[in-house]
Amino acid sequence: MDLKQIQYFIALFEDGSVTRAAKRLNIVQPALSMQIAKLEDELKQTLFERGAHGMTPTAAGRLMYRLYLPIMRDLKQAQTQLMQRDEVVSGHVSLGLIASVSESVLADALSRFHEQYPHVEVTVADGYSATFIDLVTGGQLEAALINRPRARLSLDSEPLLDEEMVLATGVNGGPTLPPVIELAQVQELDLVLPTKRHGLRGVLDAAAQSADVLLAPRFEIDVLSAIVKLVENTGFATILPRIVVERSVQRGTMRAHPILAPRIVRHIVRISHPRRPISAATEALTAIIADELRKVSAGASDPVDS
């Protein structure tokens, strides 16, 4: 077995057709069929069932794909890193960012990134976690930073930051509360929260359900900056990641109250397609964004006295 045979196998597995796989590999169909036959003979396993509708992987074929795909991906990443070791990082990054990240650290992260990698073009999409999962799966985005969903993902997922969510109130006109609050007490407040389409709302609803707490917001808004501005100027309260409200806390227009019983934590992860290695430029931009997130999170103020 050699690398070429494994590449041929993976292409046939993914395309399901000798014709399409051969076109993808830029070889003639008989050459592909011959290499797959040699591979099956060497392994003493039938990897595909031949039928009128194409090539259907057998159980052995599905197992081989699961075992060898990560190896081939690692080899490709190693080759890319070696080739770019002494070269200028260039190319194009297409990245999806949830609003809590784009609104809090994107500008600073892009400024740093451009200073270090001036030859890279960047396209950033703003949206929901569920939308980004579809776009990365379909290849429209190379990667995305999202709130980790409760359901299992078929994409590669790399943890970037675990972050506390806090109850935020306005300094002028906001309710008077203790520095630290229990989630059950939140039920008594006039809340403005993201809608149920938003990944953050999923985190909140899961925590509330586990604590047997009913969250019934007066307003539901998906624009996080609008939520912050509303809370700053009214008696409403909200529950958002600390990085979203930290600038307002530092300006003295909001108070952030840690929530206990239960503590609410959201997990930011980077998702990418398992069959599409992350480029060096995307790795670099992700690392800078993650660093900016950690700096904001580490610099968050202690509970503010009421």
pLDDT at 219 over 70: yes
Helix (H, G, I), strand (E, B) or coil at 273: coil
Which pLDDT does position 283 carry in this prediction? 92
Chosen CATH of 164-265 out of 3.30.300.30, 3.20.20.80, 3.10.450.50, 3.40.190.290: 3.40.190.290
pLDDT at 85 over 70: no
Amino acid at position 51, single letter: G
Is the alpha carbon torsion for 200, 204, 207, 209 positive or negative? negative
Instruction: Give ranges for CATH 3.40.190.10 in the chain.
Output: 91-160+267-298
As a whole number, the mean pLDDT across the chain is 88
Q: Under CATH, what is the fold of the domain 91-160+267-298?
A: D-Maltodextrin-Binding Protein; domain 2 (3.40.190)
How confident is the model over 202-211, as pLDDT tens digits? 999 999 999 9
pLDDT at 304 over 50: no
C-alpha 109/C-alpha 95 separation (Å) is 13
How confident is the model over 8-38, as pLDDT tens digits? 999 899 888 898 888 888 899 999 999 999 9
What number of helices (H) and strands (E) belong to the chain? 11, 12
H/E stretch holding 178 reads: none
Which pLDDT does position 83 carry in this prediction? 61
With vertex at residue 138, the alpha carbon angle to CA 133 and CA 139, rounded to the nearest 5 degrees, is 100
Which pLDDT does position 300 carry in this prediction? 59
Is the alpha carbon torsion for 12, 17, 21, 22 positive or negative? positive
Q: What is the CATH number of domain 3-83?
A: 1.10.10.10
Instruction: Give ranges for CATH 3.40.190.290 in the chain.
Output: 164-265
Structure tokens at 27: 């070889």
How confident is the model over 249-287, as pLDDT tens digits? 999 999 999 998 888 999 999 999 988 888 889 999 999
Which pLDDT does position 301 carry in this prediction? 44
- Under DSSP, the state recorded for 12 is H
How confident is the model over 171-195, as pLDDT tens digits? 988 888 999 999 999 998 999 999 9
